[in-house]
């Protein structure tokens, strides 16, 4: 689910404001801040910071607009702090959606997710299994504070609220 949230924020929410906080429900049902997305005006990218157990933010990812093909490239950082390209988000003009491709160990992109606009101004998230079969895995619904409520679908197909995105 964390990957779903990261992708969604980078593609649809962050370009319109300077930073956003991401909250998830802990095991007691209490919302707690787990990350912050910060625009980097120096190189026109968005950095994702995750909070460690001491509450200290650590940079774990960067979303970079690719001016060559108008895609968004996603980079994470390995244990040595070295940036590695792990995926690409590509707009699909045919279906008015966004596809996420993740690079396998051979550097070949594999389609992993699709984000489609839904009826309420949010987005539906679909995952692909190893056979390429598409299955709905999550939903973002606009909420009263201008952010989004994050839902995932459990193994029975029941929608469960797992977090909130706030400006």
pLDDT score at 16: 47
CB neighbourhood size of 101 (10 A): 18
C-alpha–C-alpha distance, residues 27 and 104, integer Å:
32
C-alpha–C-alpha distance, residues 74 and 93, integer Å:
20
pLDDT score at 40: 85
Radius of gyration of the chain (CA): 16
Model-wide pTM > 0.95:
no
pLDDT score at 69: 87
Tokens found for residue 21: 């906080």
Count of the separate structural domains present in the chain:
1
The pLDDT tens digits for 35-68 are: 988 888 888 889 999 998 898 999 999 999 888 8
Q: How buried is 10 (Cβ within 10 angstroms: 0-12 exposed, 13-18 middle, 19+ buried)?
A: buried
Q: Which DSSP string do the residues of 37-106 spell out, in sequence order?
A: EEEETTTTEEEEEEE-TTS-EEEEEEEEEETTTTEEEEEEE-TTS-EEEEEEEEEETTTTEEEEEEE-TT
Q: Which residues of the chain have pLDDT under 70?
A: 1-17
Parent domain of 124: 2-166
């Amino acid at each position: 689910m964390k990957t779903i949230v990261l992708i969604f924020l980078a593609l649809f929410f962050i370009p319109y404001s300077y930073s956003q906080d991401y909250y998830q429900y802990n095991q007691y049902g209490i919302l707690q801040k787990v990350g912050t997305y910060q625009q980097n005006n120096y190189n026109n990218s968005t950095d994702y910071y995750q909070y460690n157990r001491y509450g200290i933010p650590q940079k774990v990812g960067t979303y970079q607009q690719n001016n060559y093909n108008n895609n968004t490239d996603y980079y994470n950082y390995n244990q040595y702090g070295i940036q590695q390209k792990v995926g690409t988000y590509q707009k699909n003009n045919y279906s008015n959606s966004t596809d996420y491709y993740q690079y396998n160990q051979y550097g070949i992109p594999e389609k992993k997710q699709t984000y489609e606009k839904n009826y309420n101004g949010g987005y539906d998230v679909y995952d692909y299994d190893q056979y390429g079969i598409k299955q709905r895995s999550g939903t973002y619904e606009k909420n009263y504070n201008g952010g989004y409520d994050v839902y995932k679908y459990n193994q029975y197909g029941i929608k469960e609220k797992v977090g909130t995105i706030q400006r």
